[in-house]
Structure 1
């Protein structure tokens, strides 16, 4: 067994080579030095990954989020969130969290959510007297909810790499997503009282105005409901749900009169750019996965972990610590793609449900996005808002505490994730 590609991968990441290229270089090294596998297989394995029908859901859901941004649907959802929570202390911070939860059912991307809210909400929060570091921390931390609420792209990747039902994963993310939202909002409420932050509105908005805000956002709010219901009732697969979401978002944008022909080009450009980054990692990981399978690395790692313990609770502690460590240095999607084929066989051997584990794994690796030294959500938010990394980390401490607490809760109370899938897929 050769471990040279593993060391090459770590070295490439260590010197700052982009993750997709680092994985590709490491994979290619195996084909060049093995002497038993023709190098042509490297290209074949990269291309073969793109033939997967479930992966088509990724560009479709990315396009849904882009279309909604251009169609003004995102701003309508923000108006609704503000109408419901704007009168609370720290109202704009509460709007930030609630909007992340609503957008989770639209874009499914924490990075997209972080970038959008950093540009739109943080300047407004700063203008109203919020500490920019606090605003940035709220924005990056709350965007983690986006990957848990269906249709999270991380759930699609995990389902594809681990051969787990994506429909069940979508259902499994609903209750945890709502609970994380509630925990985050409670944390912000406490922080806002301590800091003496004022609400966005002096008094609650009249119910008539709240109703109008709800009507404006109603069609957009139907997207995640329609996705889950359509999959459950057998009208379409998760991939086809992505196509329906794009169609529905386009129709809503036209109905509202805000989606114009001039938006077609930027929508396609942004979708292609975002999709290409993810798929390049997936293609490189496909070739790297061939190396791991050829050398039986997943089986060896699984056996070594099981030699340490076969207790499901102890094993989950070890895996969570491993994921936190890996996530601090490797971008979440790439880590998810690399580790899912290794860890799923391990947890299945000790009776851990792969759907439950998928929620834990995706949530864990996304938390790593706001942790130093290489958290992508942290860098995205700070680069847009101009807040230093040191100030961000200090402001994020309360959110680290609540997010890791929620990780423990989701890890050891599997029914929070499995209740809806068990109810609907009996």
Structure 2
């Protein structure tokens, strides 16, 4: 057995045994060194690769945006956004289901993480959705599926990691997800509206919304809604880098906490703790996956894979179809961040060789990984949502079927209509 095959088998075996992702990937790296003692690679070099993977300046954006999202949650932002969403969708069929989807779309630019978004909304909305007539399974499915919008809305953590390891413009990746996110939001709202009419779930209100009431709800939410605009605008105008934009987001969140008089010293300690824990979990995976990615490069796997794919796929359309199938299967078993760091450096050069825009391919890659986190048997997003709502995975999967079909349809649309991902970045940044 070749050393790289031994490494892959050990890593997959540890993942199936529910060993933490970073430990599973490191286990694969260690297996490679034991299986290949004469390659001239020492354990010291492996440790250096792990550390260097976590020392990228661009990666500093991750703790910054994680901290900004945590501060937003403790500064009264979520409550104000929730009230605005209730007024905005009050007369739509679906009631709190519609609120759930719109809140995911608007809050995605603040949390930056689909897991954080799903956990927050599962606690906040699912109990009331059940009282309104939704089954626990369907309410959980809406919550998890709507959090698929979060990785597409700037500033998504997945876009930061993808951009930093492939050299793709993070600013363009931030902008590229906006149009697909809006399409996803509208499609989900249509599905929930039809379900609600069928089940007789009432609207939140019957009377028409007056402009004064809408403005009253919008006014407290306008400052939080400006955060993605500030981030994208500052990067586009060259005022700051994506990493520096993360620091700007923290100061802006603190500013909102002071304006709303919601910030408390005890909350600050909780925010720091959440930021440290979340960042540590992400960076451990980043470091381990960077080492494994380097091993793949040492073994010429990316180069060989490029040759094989170019020989098998005669055009970019077949290549995109094959990549989608491959990434969906990978996403079912491997944590998104680890898969992204290992696979993106291998696949992006092939995509460019086929003439695919790297920003377009980045959005397809990120969305594939997001869908993988929702699908059994090892979807993190599925387990997080069901863990909070106490819903069985069998009921969740059953109620989530319509959303699976919708998400796969959206993936094909994003893959074969690149304009969805490239139009807005080209408009803002130029072709």
Q: TM-score range by the shorter chain?
A: over 0.9
Partner of residue 309, structure 1: 313
Out of 206, 224, 231, the residue aligned to residue 202 of structure 1 is 206
Counterpart of 2:8?
Answer: 6
**1:144-166 deviation per Cα after TM superposition (whole angstroms, max 9, x unaligned):** 10000111111111111211110
- Asked if residue 271 in structure 1 is aligned to residue 272 in structure 2, the reply is no
Match of 1:166 among 142, 146, 170: 170
Structure 2 unaligned blocks of 5 or more: none
Worse-superposed segment, 88-97 or 10-19: 10-19
Whole-angstrom distance in 2 between the partners of 1:336 and 1:181: 25
Alignment of structure 1 residues 254-265 onto 2, 5 Å: 254-265=258-269
Counterpart among 16, 19, 27 of residue 18 in structure 2: 16
Determine the structure 1 residue equivalent to 2:30. Answer: 28
> In structure 2, what is the Cα distance between the partners aligned to 1:370 and 1:194?
25
The aligned counterpart of 2:72 is 68
**Do the aligned partners of 2:3 and 2:35 also contact (CA within 8 Å) in 1?**
no
Q: Please point out which of 342, 349, 367 is paired with 2:346.
A: 342
Shift of 1:205: 3.3
Contact 1:64-1:242 at 8 Å conserved across structures: yes
2:244 paired residue number: 240
Structure 2 CA distance for aligned equivalents of residues 403 and 203 of structure 1? 34
Identify which of 287, 299, 304 aligns with 2:303: 299
Q: Is the 8 A contact 1:187 1:402 kept in 2?
A: no
Q: CA deviation at 1:202?
A: 2.8
Aligned residue for 2:205, secondary structure, equals coil
Cα deviation, residue 129, structure 1? 2.1
Partner deviation per Cα, 1:6-36 (whole Å, 9 max, x = no partner): 1111111122211111001111222343221
Q: Secondary structure at the match of 1:391?
A: helix
How far has the Cα of 1:48 moved from its partner?
0.9
SS at match of 2:238: coil
Distance 1:420 1:129 in 2: 39
> What's the counterpart of residue 418 of structure 1?
422
Partner SS, residue 6 of structure 1: helix
1:340, 1:158 → 2: CA distance? 7
Of 102, 117, 121, 2:121 maps to: 117
Q: d(CA) in 1 for partners of 2:98 and 2:73? A: 21
1:77 paired to 2:78: no
Q: Give 1:361's match in structure 2, choosing from 341, 353, 365.
A: 365
User: 1:140 aligned to 2:141?
Assistant: no
Query: How much has 1:107 moved relative to structure 2?
Result: 1.3
Provide the TM-score with structure 1 as the length reference: 0.98
Q: Structure 1 CA distance, aligned partners of 2:190 and 2:107?
A: 20
* Distance in structure 1 (CA, Å) of the matches to 2:425 and 2:107: 22
Residue of structure 2 equivalent to 1:101:
105
Select the residue among 320, 323, 328 that pairs with 2:327: 323
Q: Is contact 1:254-1:260 (8 Å) kept?
A: no
Shift in Å at residue 310 of structure 1? 3.0
| Unmatched segments (≥5 aa) in structure 1 | none
Partners of 1:150 and 1:420 in 2: CA distance? 13
Pairwise CA distance, 1:425: 2.0
Q: 1:408 to 1:195 in 2, by over 3 A?
A: same
**Deviation (angstroms), 1:87:** 2.0
Say which SS state the counterpart of residue 105 (structure 1) adopts: helix
- Structure 2: distance between partners of 1:197 and 1:123: 15
For the residues of structure 2 that align with 1:204 and 1:379, how far apart are their CA atoms? 39
Q: Compute the displacement of 1:85 (Å).
A: 0.2
Report the Cα offset of residue 229 of structure 1: 0.9
Three-state SS of the structure 1 residue aligned to 2:268 is: helix
Aligned match of 1:230: 234
Q: Which runs of 4+ in 1 moved over 4 A?
A: none
